[in-house]
Structure 1
Amino acid sequence: MDFLEMIFGKIGDLTWGWSLIPILVVFGCFITLATGFVQFRYFGRMFRVLSRANNSADPNRISAREALLVSVGGRVGGGNIAGVAVAITLGGPGAVFWMWAVALVGMATSLVECSIAQLFKRKVGEHSFRGGPARAILHGLGPQFRWLAVIYAICLIAAFGLGFNAFQGNTVAGAIQDSLGIDRLWSGIALAIASGIIIFGGIHRIAKASDVIVPIMAVGYLALALLVILLHIAEVPHVFMTIVNNAFGIEQAVGGGMGAALAQGLRRGLFSNEAGLGSAPNVAATAEVRHPISQGITQSFSVFIDTIVICSCTAFIILLGDVYVPGAENIDGVVLTQQSLVSLLGGWAQYYLTAAILLFSFSSIIYNYYLGENALTVLWKTPVAILVFRMAIIVIVFVGAVAPGATSVFFFSDPMMGVLALVNLLVIMMLFPVALRLLRDFHGQLKAGVDRPLLNPDDYADLDIDREAWRLPAE
């Protein structure tokens, strides 16, 4: 076991340690420039997805809105509460600024990776689609790169399907035990049962559940943060100035100054919004849309919601409170956020936060499950394999909840996500000309007066796309 931990530790050092974060940031800046700041040009269109009028009327299909909410439910998790708290503690308030910056850049990366996943999706049955980086490799780069798709699929199953679900179960059970005094066994049983009910319904039930859960959790958490801000509105300008000054080293809150703020902000921001990591495209490909760029724009909006909105809520709760101690060691991010809320609003707030953590983590579990299932179908397409995987997820969630020490078994999760991200970035680079082609097509139709651009498969006859997947029903 020690040998395996050493090997995966080296993999983690080679990815997250020094190479991955700079590559993600530099590549995100490149995409932003090469696409003409696409995330800002189409920012207004992002809000259209919230209207049901711009979504599929067929209840059997996954709409753009549902795919957005599944994605938001997956991106928004413990990192938005615990991760932000740790970043501010270790990097100072300036870490928040760099989280915002990396999110704005990541919006372009997410738009491109999700548009590519949409283009190469495959129709499965009458009402479903499957796609993602693995299928983009198989159909965009060709069967000679199947080995790369296999590496991607294995990493996705290991990191998201298995490891992160154990951690999410642990987070929920710990929060419930700390605030409500309920034993981990009972919360573990309840969480495992609830997870099983949703995941055995497949992507359609996951989408319907997310359509209910995600708006409640996002709006509820946003309302709590707005209450904190309104009650302390006079201090908000000072908090903004502290964030900016610390971000550029004008004020120093922790050792390392601007460097610590930059490192923590970029790392936690990328880990939270997942832009470029290759996870969200799997969900993006399930939606029925008229043009791949439409779903790319939608998923770019998901990054905005995750970091600019939800992470900022946590940041202001912490910085407006009087519990935060810059540079504190052995920090528990959930506890810091919880104590900050109590200091600002009173004891009832800790129960509100526990409910938020429950929703955040549960939405992440069902999202992580689908990522693992989708990757599994690249390796094995038999119903038995999916059944075994579903049972394994239920057991992992339960064990993670009742036995916190068991999560140490999943030490490979972060290193595997690092490899996953590197593979995904390689795929984006190789297929980036195709993404630019899609963007030109989309922009050209808009200039011609088409309000809702439509992909014409005949324009992409040279690519291995599934024409059935792009044969949309007449409106």
Structure 2
Amino acid sequence: MEALQSLVGTINGWAWGPPMLVIILGVGLFLQIGLKFMPIRNLGRGFKLMIQGRESVGEGQISPFNALMTALSATIGTGNIAGVATAVFLGGPGALFWMWMTALVGMATKYSEAVCAVKFREKDDQGNYVGGPMYYIKNGLGAKWAWLGVVFAIFGAIAAFGIGNGVQANGVAQVLETNFGLNTSLTGIVLMGLTGAVILGGITRIGAVAGKLVPFMAVSYIFFGLIVLLINIGEIGNALSLVFTHAFTPSAAEGGFAGAAVWAAIRFGVARGVFSNEAGLGSAPIAHAAANTKGPVNQGLIAMLGTFIDTIIVCSITGLAIIASGAWTSGESGAALTSLAFETSLPGFGGYLIAVSLSIFAFTTILGWSYYGEKCVGFLAGTKALLPYRLLWIAAIYFGATADLGFIWLLADTLNALMALPNLIALALLSPVVFKVTKEFFVSNGQTEEPGGNPAE
């Protein structure tokens, strides 16, 4: 086991080393520039389309809004609470800046992923729309690249059990045991029951649950997070100064904080940012491919909001709360650090709030990733493999909730990067298609080189 852990650790160091960070940020920046920063400039259009997207307007299984909520259900999770705290603990306040940079270029990545997902999606033998990197590689790049789609599907099917199942179940079990004294076995059993009741109904039921649960919890977390920031409003200016300063200069040791080099801020900021918003991983387009949408660009404009909401809004609130409250120098890490920041500002309530938030966010992540994993398996083995995969997924939750997942965390982090590689290669190769489809969309709506204005009717 030690040899295996050492091997995975070595791969992890390479996977999240300079080459991967350059590829993730480089492809995102390339797409953002190629799109003439359209995703950033059309943020308002995206939100309007999201609101309009509560109703189904085309062919697919779920509404555009529920497709976004399903994608958000898989992204808003432990990454927003424990992941941000870990980034600040290991990289200092400057890590939050690099999370922002990842999100700004990631909006173009997420937009492009959804455009390709809808354009190159297909129907399975049950009549359901399926899509994602494996399909836009197969249908967009042709037979000579088919192996790359298989590689993505293999990584995705395996990674789902780490990032989307074991890590989430373990996070719920640990936080409920710490704050409420609940036995981890009991938590595992309850999670199995709740998850089974939803995922056995397929994407329609997952989308319906996500469409109600995700907005409620996200708004609730943002509301209480803003209260924490208001309580510490006198320190917000200093917190922002620390974020921008330590993004480019080393963070000195302070209190329980051991100090961090600029490289640590970049590495952990980008890594945790990608872990949280999943831009470039290729997971979210699997959900967006099932949307009832007017076309690829419409869904792309909605999809890019996932990165903005997840990182620019939710992760920022977590990070600034940790820094402004002074908790970042306590020596705590992960969910315990975020819990300390909220408890310091909201005594007797803040810690429980984080426990409940993390539990529900993690549960919705389990739902979203179950769909991602089964579609990867469906691509590899056909629809006959879907039910067995769902049953295995439900059973794995108990193991995740009750086991020591130190190694699983490492494996999940590594597979994150390995998933991203095939997807980023495909996006770079398909970028001319994305640019062409985008230009045609805006031209057809009376706009030329500078897309913007009112959303298409």
**TM-score of the pair, normalised by structure 2:** 0.92
Are 2:8 and 1:8 aligned?
yes
Residues 1:19 and 2:19 are matched in the alignment: yes
Cα deviation 1:356-397 (Å, max 9, x = unaligned): 0111100100111000111111111143x2111111111111
Give the Å deviation of 1:293: 1.2
- Structure 2 CA distance, aligned partners of 1:18 and 1:242? 24
Aligned to 1:338: 339
Equivalent position amino acid for 2:39 in 1: Q
Indicate which of 288, 303, 308 corresponds to 1:284: 288
Residue 151 and residue 296 in structure 1: after superposition, are their counterparts in 2 closer, same or farther (change >3 A)?
same
Can you list the C-alpha shifts for 1:281-337, whole angstroms capped at 9, x where unaligned? 1111111111201111111110000001110111122122243217x4xx4311111
Q: How many angstroms apart in 2 are the aligned matches of 1:228 and 1:40?
A: 28
Decide whether aligned partners of structure 1 residues 413 and 53 sit closer, same or farther in structure 2, where only a CA change above 3 A counts: closer
Indicate if the aligned counterparts of 2:166 and 2:399 stay in contact, CA closer than 8 A: yes
Please tell me whether the aligned partners of residues 400 and 407 of structure 1 are also in contact (alpha carbons under 8 angstroms): no
Q: How far apart, CA to CA, are the structure 2 residues paired with 1:292 and 1:360? A: 28
- CA separation of 1:352 and 1:291: change in aligned 2, threshold 3 A: same
Pairwise CA distance, 1:408 = 3.3
In structure 2, the partner of 1:366 is 367
Residues 407 and 158 (structure 1), Cα distance of their counterparts in 2 relative to 1, 3 Å cut:
farther
The within-5 A match list for 1:199-278 is 199-249=199-249, 252=252, 255-278=259-282
Structure 1 CA distance for aligned equivalents of residues 9 and 252 of structure 2: 31
Q: In the TM superposition, what whole-angstrom CA distance separates every residue of 1:412-444 from its partner, at most 9, and x where no partner exists?
A: 333322221111111111111111111111121
Alignment of 1:10-409 (within 5 A): 10-52=10-52, 55-56=55-56, 61-124=61-124, 128-162=128-162, 164-249=164-249, 252=252, 255-325=259-329, 328=331, 331-383=332-384, 385-403=385-403, 405=404, 408=407
Distance 1:365 1:288 in 2: 23
The amino acid of 1:295's aligned partner reads Q
Aligned-partner Cα distance in 2 for 1:451–1:22: 35
Question: How many equivalent residue pairs?
Answer: 449
CA contact (8 A) 2:76 2:365 kept: yes
Deviation, 1:345, is 0.8
1:86, CA displacement in angstroms? 1.4
Q: What is the Cα deviation at residue 252 of structure 1?
A: 4.4
Aligned partners of 2:272, 2:60: CA distance in 1, in Å?
36
Distance 1:86 1:409, change over 3 A: closer
Greater Cα offset, 412-421 or 285-294:
412-421
Aligned residues of 1:61 and 1:127 also touching (Cα < 8 A): no
Counterpart of 1:27, as a letter, is: V
Task: State the 1:31 CA deviation.
Answer: 1.3
SS in 2 for 1:172: helix
**Superposition RMSD on alpha carbons, in Å?**
2.4
Q: Provide closer, same or farther for how the CA distance between residues 230 and 434 of structure 1 changes in structure 2, counting only shifts above 3 A.
A: same
Partner Cα separation in structure 1 for residue 208 and residue 368 of structure 2:
12
Q: Give the letter aligned to residue 16 of structure 1.
A: W
Structure 2 match to 1:463: none
Contact 1:106-1:303 at 8 Å conserved across structures: yes
Contact 1:62 1:128 in 2 (8 A): no
Structure 2 counterpart of 1:468? none
Deviations 1:49-98 (A, max 9, x none): 34246631699831111111111111111111111111112222121112
Q: How many Å apart are 1:229 and its aligned residue? A: 1.8
Deviates more, 1:306-315 or 1:10-19: 10-19
- Contact residue 232 and residue 325 of structure 2 kept, 8 A: no
Q: Which runs of 5+ in 1 are unaligned?
A: 455-475
3-state SS in 1 of match to 2:328 = coil
For residue 382 of structure 2, give the secondary structure of its aligned residue in structure 1.
Answer: coil
Between 394-403 and 13-22, report the one with greater CA deviation: 13-22
CA distance in 2, matches of 1:2, 1:140: 42
Q: Aligned partners of 2:409, 2:153: CA distance in 1, in Å? A: 17
Query: Mean alpha-carbon deviation: is it higher for 247-256 or for 82-91?
Result: 247-256
Quick check: 194-203 or 153-162, which moved more? 153-162
Counterpart-to-counterpart distance in 2, 1:247 and 1:121: 40
Taking a change above 3 Å as real, the CA distance of residues 57 and 173 of structure 1, as seen in their structure-2 partners, is same
- Deviation digits for residues 154-195 of structure 1, max 9, x if unmatched? 100000145530111000000000000111111111111001
CA gap 1:389/1:217 in 2 versus in 1, 3 angstroms: same
Aligned residue identity for 2:194? A
Segments of structure 2 that go 5 or more residues without pairing to the other structure are none
Distance 2:131 2:45 in 1: 24
What is the distance in 1 between the residues matched to 2:296 and 2:175?
39
1:286 maps to amino acid: A
Aligned residue in 2 for 1:431: 430
Contact 1:158 1:412 in 2 (8 A): no
- After TM superposition, the structure 1 stretch with the greater mean CA deviation from structure 2, 258-267 or 190-199, is 258-267
